[in-house]
Structure 1
Amino acid sequence: MVAPSLPGVSYVMPVYNEAAYIDDAIASVLAQDYGGDQELVLALGPSTDGTSERVERLAAVDGRIRIVHNPEMAIPIGLNRAILAARHEVIVRVDAHTELAPDYTAAAVATLARTGAASLGGLMVASGRSRFQSAVARAYNSRLGLGGGAYHGSAVEGPAESAYLGIMRRSSLIAVGLYDEGLRRGEDWELNFRLRSAGSVVWLDPTLRVTYWPRDRWSKLARQFVATGIWRGELVRRHGGRHPLRYFAPPALVVSSGASLIVLLLQATGVLVGPTSLILGLVHLAPVAYLLLLAGLLLAPSSGRTIADRATFALVIATMHVTWGAGFLRGVVLGARDAVDRSRIES
């Protein structure tokens, strides 16, 4: 009896200004231990750091690499162009900041067939090179950093809210209209929301692990999280309360901290006195508790080996929460408008 052939796989990767990571990302795709046909479709933005030239040289010598152009530099637009150009039914999204384990594709295709899922994801395993990037990686891998999303550390296989990156069926994506090209962040969650709403299964397989290299500078991290928060706020405007409560914690922190500062100024100037001051002073509890939490991170071994590592981790956590929360409030109140993530555009 002849074993059935493995389905072909098309990897789709949006790329813009990733000279420090693109070679390793592409190499991890081309090194996949998988017996079916494979191709890599790169949605290439007009990079200014030599990324485009690197990609074009690699495509010239390896027929598995194909390029579609993404002059808009918008991730959903680039992904849609790559998916429409793809030759195979199984779509594997890969980012230029990621690296796949050699057995990633084989395991993913097997799980896709076993579960009948339309979209499947594994775990994001963040890693760092410098002290700062390593602190950001610890924050990504921590429930405290990103609020405990399943793909940041869950060990339980089963139906999921969304899928990190995603191993997907091309026909299912086309049936729901592909990625929403009006979004600039949060496109994965929104796509999986529509797939689930259409009755399809979204699945988490924690045996699938992807190495992710986060932003390596404070300014880049802050810009990334402001933009991400803005677009999450936009998604809340569109879909109402159909979001996990964890998304509302950072904006609640920002609001309570702002209110605390105002009350503190009124108390210091004598405007608030007596019972009114005591009652309104309760607003100080949330930011004080948060500061104590950050102070506790300086003592926690999981925050880093040295006091400098732990202090960096605490400041990274605070940066993530405050910038994301502030962005979220702007997105809810004003909408995302033309907000973009400039963390790859500016140094």
Structure 2
Amino acid sequence: MPAQQPAVSVIMPVLNEERHLRDSVRHILGQEYSGEMEVVIALGPSTDRTDEIAAELVRETASGERARVVTVPNPSGRTPAALNAAIKASRHPIVVRVDGHGMLSPNYIATAVRLLEETGAQNVGGIMHAEGENAWEDAVAAAMTSRIGVGNAAFHTGGKAGPADTVYLGVFRREALDLAGGYNEEFIRAQDWELNFRIREAGGLIWFSPELKVQYRPRPSVRALAKQYKDYGRWRHVVARYHSGSINLRYLASPTALCAIAAGVVVGAAVSPWGFVVPAGYLAAITVGSIPAGKGLSLAARAQIPVAMATMHMSWGFGFLTSPRALAAKVIASRRPAVRRDLAGGV
């Protein structure tokens, strides 16, 4: 390992993360990395023990010579505001984004710093490796890493290293964040895509590598998963209106399936039983698709994979179809023009 590695700031937007926060920070502090490190936790208005756990982490690392934890307030509870607050409070030239329920692999930061140097990228990221802690979460994790569940998104299913439109979380050069002006706080969701779009628009490179892996803890219930994917769909439509060239067939699959299923049910109930062929065909497809996805899981987990897939697809489609134009108009009005500058350079 190199004798001199650049200092890094790890930024964490946190809200109601008592279940995973301590473990997530443990994975950061345990990195195989010799450089100086700080962890800046932006605390939203949590209703659980998140703030108490964060305070414990601050006390436990206060005397650390190489790594320490600090906190900053995020009264709005919104992720992009938390990220900007943490960036402002951080000090180091490399900025690593981590969520409160994400677990970094042991060499994540060292690998990311190396990739920044090798590629000249302004942001590098890798695979969102979903892993559950019970049968339901195992089912969601299987759905999230299956092509029938999420399509061909490389940060879910893996792929070859190379330039990308966006990446999961990200490890940034600070100058790229400064040039972009941080995250656009109007993007309650999809803020990563929007920031990476502006970095690319300014001439920067976003790089995906399967070498980078972050364990992700799925939502713990059907209701929480449905809300998550409804929000994803809602904000993906905002992105499509914000940047017309960003839409592709993968993003239209869920809303198309939802419309087809709804039409099939109506036709089946009011006109002919043949209408039920469409929803029946969808159920058959996700049931068959869940078989390879559930390999190695418990029977309880395998049985719930079709439920997880249907929840993700239908919620995403509903969010996409009901996303209001007024929301997109507000976001578009907040757009910041690209500021071009030579972003090439070593770490």
- Deviations for 1:283-339, whole angstroms, at most 9, x for unmatched residues? 76654431220232465473564554322001110010001100011116564799x
Partner of 1:211: 215
Could you tell me which of 201, 226, 248 is aligned with 2:252?
A: 248
Partner of 2:39: 40
The SS at the match of 1:165 is strand
Could you tell me which of 125, 136, 142 is aligned with 1:138?
A: 142
Q: 1:227 touches 1:327 (CA, 8 Å); kept in 2?
A: yes
| Percent identity for Structure 1 against Structure 2 | 40
**TM-score relative to the length of structure 1:** 0.87
Q: 1:120 touches 1:166 (CA, 8 Å); kept in 2?
A: yes
Structure with the greater alpha carbon radius of gyration:
1
**CA 1:247–1:84: 2 relative to 1, 3 Å:** same
Partner of 1:326: 318
- Deviations for 1:256-304, whole angstroms, at most 9, x for unmatched residues? 12222232233159xxxxxxxxxxx7x7665443122023246547356
The SS at the match of 2:211 is strand
Partner of 1:10: 9
How does 1:1-347 map onto structure 2 within 5 Å?
5-63=4-62, 64-268=68-272, 286-297=278-289, 299-300=291-292, 302=294, 305=297, 307-331=299-323, 335=327
> 1:293 is aligned with what amino acid?
A
Q: 2:9 touches 2:40 (CA, 8 Å); kept in 1?
A: yes
Q: 1:303 touches 1:309 (CA, 8 Å); kept in 2?
A: no
Q: 1:230 touches 1:335 (CA, 8 Å); kept in 2?
A: no
The SS at the match of 2:172 is strand
The SS at the match of 1:12 is strand
**CA 1:169–1:24: 2 relative to 1, 3 Å:** same
Which whole-Å CA distance do the structure 2 matches of 1:337 and 1:220 have between them?
28
Q: 1:120 touches 1:204 (CA, 8 Å); kept in 2?
A: yes
**CA 1:161–1:285: 2 relative to 1, 3 Å:** farther
The SS at the match of 2:229 is helix
Which whole-Å CA distance do the structure 2 matches of 1:244 and 1:214 have between them?
26
- Deviations for 1:140-169, whole angstroms, at most 9, x for unmatched residues? 111121222111122311111211110001
* Range that drifts further, 247-256 or 299-308: 299-308
Show structure 2 runs of 5+ residues with no match: 63-67, 331-347
Partner of 1:345: none
**CA 1:224–1:298: 2 relative to 1, 3 Å:** closer
**CA 1:230–1:303: 2 relative to 1, 3 Å:** farther
- Deviations for 1:85-136, whole angstroms, at most 9, x for unmatched residues? 1101100000111111221111110111110101100111110111000000
- Deviations for 1:200-234, whole angstroms, at most 9, x for unmatched residues? 10001111111111111111111111111111111
Which whole-Å CA distance do the structure 2 matches of 1:146 and 1:293 have between them?
14
**CA 1:110–1:69: 2 relative to 1, 3 Å:** same
Partner of 1:277: none
> 1:248 is aligned with what amino acid?
L
Q: 1:120 touches 1:168 (CA, 8 Å); kept in 2?
A: yes
Q: 2:242 touches 2:328 (CA, 8 Å); kept in 1?
A: no
Q: 1:297 touches 1:303 (CA, 8 Å); kept in 2?
A: no
> 1:310 is aligned with what amino acid?
R
> 1:48 is aligned with what amino acid?
T
> 1:312 is aligned with what amino acid?
Q
The SS at the match of 2:124 is strand
Which whole-Å CA distance do the structure 2 matches of 1:6 and 1:303 have between them?
40
**TM-score relative to the length of structure 2:** 0.87
> 2:127 is aligned with what amino acid?
L
The SS at the match of 1:200 is coil
**CA 1:284–1:200: 2 relative to 1, 3 Å:** farther
The SS at the match of 2:125 is strand
Which whole-Å CA distance do the structure 2 matches of 1:254 and 1:18 have between them?
32
Partner of 2:339: none
The SS at the match of 2:212 is strand
Q: 1:139 touches 1:317 (CA, 8 Å); kept in 2?
A: yes
The SS at the match of 2:197 is helix
Show structure 1 runs of 5+ residues with no match: 270-280, 339-347
CA RMSD of aligned residues (A): 2.2
